[in-house]
Structures are given as C-alpha cells and as structure tokens.
Amino acid sequence: MADCFPRTADLPSQSALFWVTHKERYLRQLLIRDIEAATGRALIVYFGDCNDTASQIDSNDDVYIAELLNDCAGKPIDLLLETNGGGTDATEKICSLLRRGAPDLRVVVPRRAKSNGTVIALTGQKIVMGLESELGPIDPSINGIPVAFVLNAPPGAVGVLDVQMAETARKQTEKLASHLLASGMLAGKSKEEIKIVIDKIATRDHYHSHGSVIDAKEAADLGFAVEELGADSALWRQFTLLRAMYAHDCAQNHYSKIFEGNKVSLVVMAKQPAAPGP
C-alpha cells in the first residue's frame, strides 16, 4: 500500500462537484478495490455504528446484504463486519444468505462482532482477526433481560410464559450456531464436541458477562478457524484504515449502518431525537 493513499492516476468519471459531494464513499471504495487487488477476493462491508443503539441487526438488513452479494456472485468473498448484535430472526436470514451467496467466505473483524455478530462470523470458513479484534458470547436476551437470568431465577420469581420464551430463545440461538459450526469450521467434530463449544458461548456458565471479550487466541482455543494478522501486516493495516473511515463517516454523517462494496453503497440513517416542543 503506497504511503500516499488515497491515490489514483485516473480522474473520476463523475463530475467534480458530484465526486466532492460523495468523496467519503469514493475514497472508501478506492481502498476496497486496493484490498481486493491484494487478496484476489471481493470485499463487502456490513458496518454498524456500535455507538448507535439503532444500529442493531434487524429484518431490513437482508435486502442490503443481498445487493452486495449479487454484485460479486461467483467470487470468493471477504465480509468486513462490525456490529454489537441484534435480532436472531434477522441473523438467521443473513446467515442463510451468506451461506448460499458466498460459499467461499472469510469474515474480517477489525474491531468487534459481538453477540449475534459473532453468530454471523461463524458463517465463514475463516475469521480474520488482529490485536484489536473481539467476538463475544451469543447468549440471547428478551426485552434486555438475559435468558440465563430468567432460566436460573428462583421458583415463582418469573412467570411460566417468560420461562418458555427464554427457553425458546436459547434453543433458537444454539440451533443456529450449532448448525453453522457443524457445517463449517467444526465440520468433522462430534456433536458432543460442538455442544461443549456452544455451552461455553451460549450460556453464562463460562462467560459471565454478555460483553466478555473473545480475542483471536481465545477464539482459536474454542476451535474457530482464525486467521490472525499482526499489526505489521500491510493487509491488516488496510482493514483497520477502512474500519476507521467507516467509524468516522458514520459519526460525521449520522449514519447508523453502511453496507458497501466496490461499486454498491447503501446507508441507513441514524434516528435523530425529536425536537423539543414549544
């Protein structure tokens, strides 16, 4: 990567005023193309601003993911992922799309893919991580309450329906993660071996906080296929530079999420607080 990035010998095909208006996107996409040239793989991005509570994985995201996948059909794909997590139903759909639309997939986590973001990361054949990267436990919550708290509550402390909802939520998450691991990174392992991993990441027995950090070494110890890149890796520096551009541009432009490839770019605006009344 040249020290003078961003650079190109070609003038933009867009008009000067149009290019300048959208320069953040064009500069990000220039770096995406540089990374693709270095890896020989298509690069798509799902970036959720982790400082925005509205950036959670939701049922609208699959449309954007499909747009990105359609644009690089048939190619090996890297997915740069940042998210704090979100709904399991929506995560199931995204995992299905990635498995069908990107059979050769690496998931790049430059900073964090937590909760159901970790479930999405399990869709890949490999997870690319560095010093700053973290995954996290995948134990679900209902209305902000961890299902483990509901299931371990003293008798009579919670309602029967709450217990049933908590059991169903945990089973849904465990089933999805087990399927992804059994058909991907842990293919060939026994059901018992996979269950040991799931029990660690989907309950509060091993990781006592939902925010617990699973770094590259710990992810590898769990059996995940981790490709760890050092801080001196030119490719890792490109990934972290791209991630920094997304974080900055989301904050500056009030974006909640950005879905992007080397040509396609889609943004979700953050919800603005209502103006005070008179």
Check residue 48 and give its pLDDT. 97
Mean pLDDT over all residues of the chain? 93
Query: Which among 172, 58, 57, 60 is positioned nearest to 118, based on CA atoms?
Result: 57
Distance between CA 217 and CA 41 in Å, rounded? Answer: 25
State phi, psi for 141 to the nearest 5 degrees: -130, 155
The closest of 150, 199, 154 to 174, measured between CA atoms, is: 199
* Residue 277 scores a pLDDT above 90: no
Overall CATH class of domain 22-136+213-269: alpha beta
Task: Report how far residue 48's alpha carbon sits from residue 55's, in angstroms, rounded to the nearest whole number.
Answer: 5
SS3 179: helix
With contact defined as beta carbons under 8 Å apart, do 123 and 99 qualify? yes
User: 25: closest CA among 270, 256, 248, 276?
Assistant: 248
> 126-169, pLDDT tens digit by residue?
999 999 999 999 999 998 899 999 999 999 899 999 999 999 99
Domain boundaries, the chain: 22-136+213-269, 139-208
The string of pLDDT tens digits covering residues 33-84 is: 999 999 999 999 999 999 888 899 999 999 999 999 999 989 999 999 999 9
Quick one: pLDDT at residue 152? 93
Residue 4: its pLDDT value, please?
59
What is the pTM assigned to this prediction? 0.93
Burial class for 189, CB neighbours closer than 10 Å (0-12, 13-18, 19+)? middle
Q: Residue 48: name the closest of 40, 37, 56 by CA.
A: 56
